[in-house]
Chains A and B, each alone.
Chain A
Amino acid sequence: MGGSTISNNQENEVKKYLLGQLEEADEERLELRLLTDPAFSEEFDTIVDELADEYVANELQGEERKRVEQHFLISTERRNKVKFAAELLERAEVERGGHNAGSEVQPVAAHGRGIFERMRLFWESQSFALRMGTAVAGLIIVVGVVMLLIPPNRTAGTYALLNLTMSSAERSAGSQTQSVRLEQGSPGIRIALSLPDQVPQAKSYRVELLDVQQSSRNLPITERTAHSLIVTIPANEIRRGSYIIRLYGNEQRIPGSYFFNVD
């Protein structure tokens, strides 16, 4: 049994002929081929059937659909072809598409196709809008399930931790300065600041962070004990570099600084 004997261009030309879109000279050339070339005639018939299927399956829209109705379907023979195509496609859908559980005909899997393959083909046959809508809905469900499964304190353990002791120096002491590395996905740095022993407890503390450009901002205190303050810096608010922390008690600067580097 042979395969296709005409090229895509010739196939397009046949479609144009069937839709009344060919120039007269091209039309004559095509018709002469129909009178002389049996292989071409067979291809012609195949294209006729395919066009009928596309019309029945609503694969043709707008002008193309209108042309089919005005040119392709003007003869009784073609209208009968479309009726047959509609019946055949509907039967295939009922007996092969899984809508008729009582069918004696085995499903497509008889050709060795698995359930996932059939699902994929079914998925691909749906409209773009339906596929997009289903994909978005699926994504929302997955995100929701993941958020429900993750315990709320799970991220706390992934903070980079630093324990800093106040230095009387005003500048970093090089190798003695602690460094912290922010791993990818870490939510930030949690810093425990030891309070100097000789300083009396203040009612309130303020923690100031300075970078190398001396721009400063206050850090929120997340925990306070008798001997330390804990501050957290979100990962998206800090970059690589050297930092200084200054401490204020009752809005009075406490002498000394905390130094650290972010690698």
Chain B
Amino acid sequence: MTNNKEPFDALLEWLDPDREKAGQRYEVIRGGLIRILVSNGLSDAEHYADEAIDRVIKRLPEIKETYVGDPAKYFHGVARNLIREARRRKEVVTEILPNLGTSKSDKSDTSECLSKCLEQLSPDKQEFILDYHLYKGHAKIEHHRQMAGELSISEGALRTRAHHLRVSLEKCVIDCVDNYGKNKTGVSSHRS
């Protein structure tokens, strides 16, 4: 991100007078922007999310005193403008079936990285994450119900637990694949 400290502090203050709450709100807004931008077909969504935040920071001195309503709504408007602009520049792919790019080398890198990242998990977490993704369709639902029963947690809690583990595993694999081209042994330090 390119924000310098003073305007960024002003942004946080606009989000909430309490600095800690403001930081939390900022993280939620940035995460939301990324989800919105990805869902609207923008690749490199993190870059566009920071671009949206920069635009708000630049406009902040003008709007801070007069703007009425939730700041999140203002961010949303800026994000929508960015999406429109990207579409005009044809940066958003539309009506074309994507090439999933599952070439043999891609797959091999991902596979090797998944092995390495799984090894970094404790054995019970390895079992859990693989078990959770074993079945499909109705069998999957039934399987998750039984897993939840065995762990004495609700199915919703099981789903959340699996999601958290998957997020950290996926991040580890992405980092590993990124590093793979530079250094074949590169796996980010990571243990969940």
Contact = CB atoms under 8 A, between A and B. Distances in A.
Interface residues of B, dominant DSSP: helix
Given A2-B160, A34-B35, A49-B166, A121 B76 contact: no
Interface stretch (B2-10, B60-68, B150-158): B150-158
Interface residues of A, number: 61
Contact of B32 (A2, A34, A88, A95): A34
Contacts of B94: 70, 74
Nearest to B99: A79
Given A2-B157, A91-B130, A96-B130, A121 B43 contact: no
Contact of B136 (A59, A83, A106): A59
Nearest to A66: B97
B139 A35 contact: no
A95 to B, nearest CB: 5
B119 to A, nearest CB: 10
A112 B157 CA distance: 20
B98 A69 contact: yes
Contacts of A70: 94-97
Contacts of B161: 1
Contacts of A78: 38
A73 interface: yes
A262 B123 CA distance: 73
Residue from A35, A38, A108 whose CB has the most chain B CB atoms within 10 Å: A35
Interface residues of A, dominant DSSP: helix
Interface string B133-168: 111111110110011001001111101110110110
A121 B135 contact: yes
Contact of A79 (B35, B98, B107): B98
Interface residues on B, range: 35 or more
Contact of B39 (A17, A35, A84, A93): A17
Contacts of A89: 133
A112 B150 contact: yes
Interface of B: 28-29, 31-33, 35-36, 38-39, 41-45, 70, 72-73, 75-76, 79, 92-98, 100-102, 106-107, 110-111, 114, 118, 123, 126-127, 129-140, 142-143, 146-147, 150, 153-157, 159-161, 163-164, 166-167, 169-170, 173-174
Interface of A: 1-4, 17-18, 28, 31-32, 34-38, 41-42, 44-46, 49, 53-54, 57, 59, 69-71, 73-84, 86-89, 91-93, 95-97, 105-106, 108, 110-113, 117, 121-122, 124-125
